[in-house]
Amino acid sequence: MVRKPSRLPTRIDFGADGRQFGALQLPHSVHRSAYGWLPVPIACVRNGEGPTVPLLSVEHGDEYEDQITLSKLIGGLEPAAVSGRIILLPMAGFPAGNAGLRTSPIDGLNLNRVFPGDSDGTPTPALAHYIDNVLMPMADYLIDLHSGGSSLMYLPTAILGGAQMTAEVRQARLELGLVFGDPYGFFFPGGQGGNATTSASAASHGVISIGTEMGEAVR
């Protein structure tokens, strides 16, 4: 199957060494700006050859802890500390994050329930399509940060995946969770979202991924 290219350009050069800051240009045509776009922050830190690891946060816009974590990491992560490439998307669901809401106020959708997305869709499927079609094919590992948002309370926990995976993948996710270092971790017996989640997208590309849940409800 031929996949449509993403419509979200960026000036980030993922093949260049060093630390880069920029934005994905998410098309958003409205009355006041017919050819408008929304700036979705993105950064890349690369130093030679090695694994590629995207770090995502704010798929749900009311989850602030993970956004703060990645924003601080962007400011302090030096290329010399990296062997390979780290791609940071600290506000993956930009419309929801900008509004402080779990779902996008533009199209009402939950970014972590619309994978693999749609390049020609509204902002939320277009963002999912970028992650699925641009970031995942580059990735070896992926960490997807979540927290309690406005309705949940969590102990610091690594989410290591669902029930259906090979023993090899299960062991690789367990090892990645141990490296991440949360005091708690578990495998979902089933999990919500089915094949429409970031975790499912990563699995479809052969990417070893974990998620996190860290923090308390923000009201």
pLDDT in tens, 112-128: 999 999 999 999 999 99
Q: Inform me whether the pLDDT recorded for 163 exceeds 90.
A: no
Residue 97, CB half-sphere, CA atoms under 13 Å: how many?
A: 25
Per-residue pLDDT, averaged over 71-83, amounts to 95
Residue-wise pLDDT tens digits, 168-205: 999 999 999 999 999 999 888 766 668 899 999 999 99
Q: What is the pLDDT of residue 217?
A: 77
Identify the band that residue 1 occupies on the pLDDT scale cut at 50, 70 and 90: low
Whether the Cβ atoms of residue 158 and residue 177 lie closer than 8 Å to each other: yes
CA pair distance 76, 71, nearest whole angstrom: 9
Q: What integer pLDDT is reported at residue 42 of this predicted model? A: 98
Mean pLDDT of the chain: 93
* Whole-number pLDDT of residue 190: 66
How confident is the model over 77-105, as a mean pLDDT?
97
DSSP tag of 3: P
pTM of the entire predicted model: 0.95
The CATH class of the 18-144+187-209 domain is alpha beta
Instruction: Please state the domain extents for the chain.
Output: 18-144+187-209
Give yes or no for residue 10 having a pLDDT over 70: yes
Task: Give Cα separations from 200 to 63, 144, 176, 197, 205 (angstroms).
Answer: 21, 12, 17, 5, 9
CA distance 46 to 79: 6
C-alpha count within 13 angstroms, C-beta hemisphere, residue 72: 6
- Give pLDDT tens digits for 15-55: 999 999 999 999 999 999 999 999 999 999 999 999 999 99
